[in-house]
Amino acid sequence: IGEGTRIREFTTINRGTVASGCTSVGQNSFIMTYVHLAHDCHIGDGVIMANGTQLAGHVTVEDYAVVSGLVAVHQFTRIGEYAFIGGMTRVSQDIPPFVKAVGNPVELYGLNTIGLQRHKFPGTTVAALKRAYRLCFNSDLNLSQALERARTEVPSTPEVERFLEFVSSSQRGVPA
């Protein structure tokens, strides 16, 4: 558990198994009341997890993601950096970085623009991410066509590259 992380009452954090040997929580994260982190979960830096969030085993939540209350996350699922998960969502697929997701079943609702603004991402980066998001999730292209087109048409930034890499490497799939 990293320095500066706050863990509130009745939270359970299970230790790792022989599969990875470790359950970890990064620095400056805030884990609220009644959160459950099962075995072999990896929580990044600056993550906020609201009351009653339940993570099954082998879940990864990347840096600065926000997970609202009463969210259930399926095992082996990844939540990307700076993603926002709305309350009472059932997450059974990977959630790409920089997006908003909510519902049961989970659906994507655009970029997490408020989170990106709070973390002072430049406007050009947000615009490039928005273009990549629209190609992948709001166009008539299938996902492989959209990824190929985004790699050629969207300005290359580290954030766009991370977004495209995450989507293309997803083992559980991403919500369409």
23 close to 15: Cβ distance less than 8 angstroms = yes
3-state secondary structure of 98: coil
Helices 123-137 and 158-169, packing angle to 10 deg: 20
Active-site option among 36, 39, 42, 58: 39
The question of whether 39 is a catalytic residue gets the answer yes
Residue 64 Cα to chain centre, angstroms: 9
For residues 46 and 65, give the distance between their C-alpha atoms in angstroms, rounded to a whole number.
7
Write out the catalytic residue numbers.
39
